[in-house]
Amino acid sequence: MEKRHLRRLRQKFREELSGKHVLCLYIPDDYEYLDEALIERLRRGVDPHVEFDARARQDCLARGWRPAEFPSLIPVASRSRGNSGVTSHPKSFGMRRFIPAFLLALTLTAVQLRAQARDSTPIALLSRLYADFAWEATGGDDGPGSKTFSDQPKSALLRYVEPELAALLLRDAACVRRSNAICRLDFAPLWDSQDPDVADVSFTHSAARPGTVVAHLRSRTGAETLVTYRMRRTSAGWRIADIQYRNGLSLRTLLGGAKVAGS
């Protein structure tokens, strides 16, 4: 029912949704109210996007406190804001295929969207990227904008990748439109696959190579695919300079561009 939730909102509230950030968490209707596993899933789904200290609330639940008792127990300043070094565990968000959906609409003001666009860490940027295009790998055809990553316009691409890589992607997309055939890119670049089926994504930093982040893509059967991102800090925040795949090729070289120095 994942399509139904999103479709219903889009049908009924098209105008109201414009400019709002909508995030699909793909949580099935398998849980009881305040189920621990549900809370953990919600926390992991929301964590890359909004700063919550939901773990503290989970601790309250574990102690048997009633929800009505919670708010005053959560110190708002419990986490130093802007300190991105406090969490070292890989960020992860669940994605399921052909299951009832759970939608989370984040209503952000323009100011907040600009703040989000700063993309203060490589993993923050990649978390946003995979959340925005999760639908490519979960069987949905009505994801955000319903255009795949490689089909995005320049303005959207520049929110994720460096201008050089955006230019190469746009050149290939123009070639596809002109020739009505596959040009250089013949797979989904975020997933290293022609038919992505991914249930979970997490990220790790490469200790040996600063600015390199490895995305761990796990399928429902548990198979793991590693996609390596070369990141660069720009004035707009962290952006993707290049993506390296299992076969040793990189997205830039596949698209006919020069290699990134040091890769």
Partner 1 sequence: MRANLPSLIQILLVCSQNRLRSLTAETIFDGVNGHQVRSAGTEDGARIRVTAGHIG
Residue type, 86: V
Residues in 63-102 at the binding interface with partner 1, rule: CB under 8 A? 67, 70-71, 74, 76, 79, 81-82, 84, 87-88, 91, 100, 102
Query: At closest approach, how far in Å is the CB of 59 from partner 1?
Result: 11
| DSSP, res 46 | H
Question: Of these, 26, 44, 48, 160, which contacts partner 1 (CB under 8 A)?
Answer: 48
Question: Of these, 95, 96, 119, 231, which contacts partner 1 (CB under 8 A)?
Answer: 119
Q: For residues 60 and 175, which CB has a smaller minimum distance to partner 1 in the complex?
A: 60
Q: Given the rule CB under 8 A, which of 117-125, 177-185, 189-197, 249-257 is the region that contacts partner 1?
A: 117-125
* Long-range Cβ contacts of 203-209 (<8 Å, 24+ apart): 203/90, 203/91, 203/123, 203/126, 203/127, 204/90, 205/122, 205/123
Token pair 């503290």 in the structure block, residue:
56
What tokens were used for 259? 């290699």
Q: How far is CA 151 from CA 10, 26, 126, 192, in A?
A: 21, 23, 18, 16
CA geometry: angle 5, 7, 12, nearest 5 deg: 100
Please tell me whether residue 120 binds partner 1 under the rule CB under 8 A.
yes
Residue type, 168: L
Query: At closest approach, how far in Å is the CB of 164 from partner 1?
Result: 24
Tell me if 24 sits within 8 A of 101, measured CB to CB.
Answer: yes
Please tell me whether residue 8 binds partner 1 under the rule CB under 8 A.
yes
Residues in 189-218 at the binding interface with partner 1, rule: CB under 8 A? none
- Secondary structure class of 75 (helix, strand, coil): coil
Dist. CA 235–CA 241, nearest whole Å: 14
Dist. CA 243–CA 213, nearest whole Å: 10
Please tell me whether residue 27 binds partner 1 under the rule CB under 8 A.
yes
Query: At closest approach, how far in Å is the CB of 76 from partner 1?
Result: 6
Contacts with partner 1 by CB under 8 A lie at: 1, 4-5, 8-9, 12-13, 16-17, 20, 27, 29, 31-35, 38-39, 42-43, 46-54, 56-58, 61, 67, 70-71, 74, 76, 79, 81-82, 84, 87-88, 91, 100, 102-108, 111-112, 115-116, 118-121, 123-124, 127-128
